[in-house]
Amino acid sequence: MSSQPFISFAGVCKSYDGVHNVVEGLDLDVARGEFVSLLGPSGSGKTTTLMMLAGFESPTRGEIRLAGNRLDDKPPHRRDIGMVFQNYALFPHMTIAENVAFPLSVRKMSRSEQKVRVQRALDMVELSHLGARRPAQLSGGQQQRVALARALVFEPSVVLMDEPLGALDKRLRESMQYEIMRLHRELSLTIVYVTHDQNEALTMSDRVAVFSDGRIQQAAAPTELYENAANAFVANFVGENNGLLGHVVSTQGEWAALQLADNSTVYGRAGAGLATGDTAMLALRPERAHIAATPASVQEAAQQDMNVVHALVQELVYCGDHHRVHLKLSHGETVVVKVPNTQHRDLPALGRQTAVTWRRDDCKVLPATAAALNAITPQDSAGFSTSSSSSSDSPLIAGVN
Ligand code: ADP
Ligand code: MG
Closest Cα to atom 7, ligand 1: which residue? 47
CA 342 to centroid of chain Cα atoms: 28
Closest Cα to atom 13, ligand 1: which residue? 43
Q: Closest ligand to 38 CA?
A: 1
28 backbone dihedrals φ, ψ, rounded to 5°: -155, 130
Q: Which of 147, 132, 124, 126 is nearest to 94 (CA)?
A: 132
Please tell me the predicted confidence (pLDDT) of residue 375: 52
Closest Cα to atom 19, ligand 1: which residue? 48
Angle at 225 between CA 220 and CA 227, to 5 degrees: 135
44 backbone dihedrals φ, ψ, rounded to 5°: -85, 0
Residue 311 amino acid letter: A
For CA atoms 242, 246, 249, 251, give the dihedral sign. Answer: positive
- As to burial, measured by CB atoms within 10 angstroms (0-12 exposed, 13-18 middle, 19+ buried), residue 378 is exposed
User: According to DSSP H, which parts of 85-129 are helical?
Assistant: 96-106, 111-124
> How far, in Å, from the CA of 347 to the mean position of ligand 1?
47
The better pLDDT of the pair 78, 40 is held by 40
The better pLDDT of the pair 385, 261 is held by 261
Confidence category of residue 297, pLDDT binned at 50, 70, 90: very high
Confidence category of residue 172, pLDDT binned at 50, 70, 90: confident
User: Mean of the pLDDT values across residues 56-81?
Assistant: 87
- As to burial, measured by CB atoms within 10 angstroms (0-12 exposed, 13-18 middle, 19+ buried), residue 1 is exposed
| Mutation test residue for ligand 1: of 48, 197, 208, the one with most atoms within 8 Å of CB | 48
What CA–CA distance (Å, rounded) separates 284 from 225? 13
Fold category of 228-399 in CATH: OB fold (Dihydrolipoamide Acetyltransferase, E2P) (2.40.50)
In ligand 1, the atom with minimum distance to the C-alpha of 162 is: 2
Q: Tens digit of pLDDT for each residue in 315-344?
A: 999 999 999 999 999 989 999 999 998 866
Q: Is the pLDDT of residue 390 over 50?
A: no
In ligand 1, the atom with minimum distance to the C-alpha of 23 is: 10
Confidence category of residue 395, pLDDT binned at 50, 70, 90: very low
Q: Which of 134-148, 187-201, 359-373 has the lowest mean pLDDT?
A: 359-373
User: Mean of the pLDDT values across residues 14-26?
Assistant: 97
In ligand 1, the atom with minimum distance to the C-alpha of 57 is: 23
Q: Is the pLDDT of residue 106 over 50?
A: yes
Cβ–Cβ < 8 Å for 215, 22:
no
Cβ–Cβ < 8 Å for 152, 183:
yes
Fold category of 7-223 in CATH: Rossmann fold (3.40.50)
Q: Is the pLDDT of residue 387 over 70?
A: no
Looking at the DSSP bridge assignments, the partners of residue 10 are 63
Q: Is the pLDDT of residue 357 over 90?
A: yes
314 backbone dihedrals φ, ψ, rounded to 5°: -105, -30
CA 347 to centroid of chain Cα atoms: 32
- Give the start-to-end residue ranges of the domains of the chain: 7-223, 228-399
User: Mean of the pLDDT values across residues 73-94?
Assistant: 83
Residue 312 makes CB contacts below 8 A (sequence gap 6+) with 327, 328, 351, 352, 353, 354
Closest Cα to atom 21, ligand 1: which residue? 16
Mean pLDDT of the chain, nearest integer: 88
Does the fold of domain 228-399 match that of domain 7-223? Answer: no
Give the pocket of ligand 1 (CB within 6 Å): 16, 22, 40, 42-48
Q: pTM of this prediction?
A: 0.87
Q: What percent of the chain has pLDDT over 70?
A: 90
